Amino acid sequence: MNPIGHIGLTVGAAFVANQVAGRAAFGSIHRRWHPLSYVAVGLGSMLPDLVDKPLALLFLQDAATRTYGHTLLFSIALCLAGLAFLLASGRTYGLALAGGSLGHLALDAMWALPHVLYWPLLGGGFPRVHEDISFLEMVWWALNDPVRVAGDMLGLLALALVVAWVVAEKGIKRLQRDARHRAVTTENEPV
């Protein structure tokens, strides 16, 4: 999947989970995420590729681009770091980053590559690239694959809806805050 699909679909799923599951689990005390949490989910949704692509290009010349960042071990380490950050600061950004990384693994269907997903439990190595294909050919293939393009369109739509919702919610809260401020100001003015 291309970056916009990863980011949009993962942020959209996190938004729905926060709205539905958070409200069901916590009821009236449910607090919505800060918009930066959605930024963390988006960054986390690209983190496996941000780790693996440079590694493959610079150091692992004949390895596939799904290596260390696409393992469950990497995501578990992110979850533990996110939990430590939550306990230290009270902020969910680290867990949001880890959730985005797990979303990336789901969108890449990593269960189909168990030697990568469960590394190092099923062996020490990663699959090798067998095809001699250039970077531009990979990009051309990705842009002409209807499944990838559909994923990107859905991701773009999900991202647009989440951004619109967050902006509208912040705007409504600002209007309510300004109205309360005006009400307090006019009550204190002499007649």
pLDDT greater than 70 at residue 150: yes
Q: Which domain holds residue 110?
A: 3-188
pLDDT value at residue 61: 65
Which stretches does DSSP call E strand in the chain? none
Confidence bin at 35 (pLDDT 50/70/90): confident
Residue 45 to residue 98: CA distance in whole angstroms:
8
Q: What is the number of structural domains in the chain?
A: 1
Q: pLDDT per residue over 46-104, tens digit each? A: 999 999 888 877 876 666 778 899 999 999 999 999 999 989 998 889 999 999 999 99
Q: Are 100 and 82 in contact (CB under 8 A)?
A: no
Strand partners, 128: 63
Q: Which residue has the tokens 């440079």?
A: 54
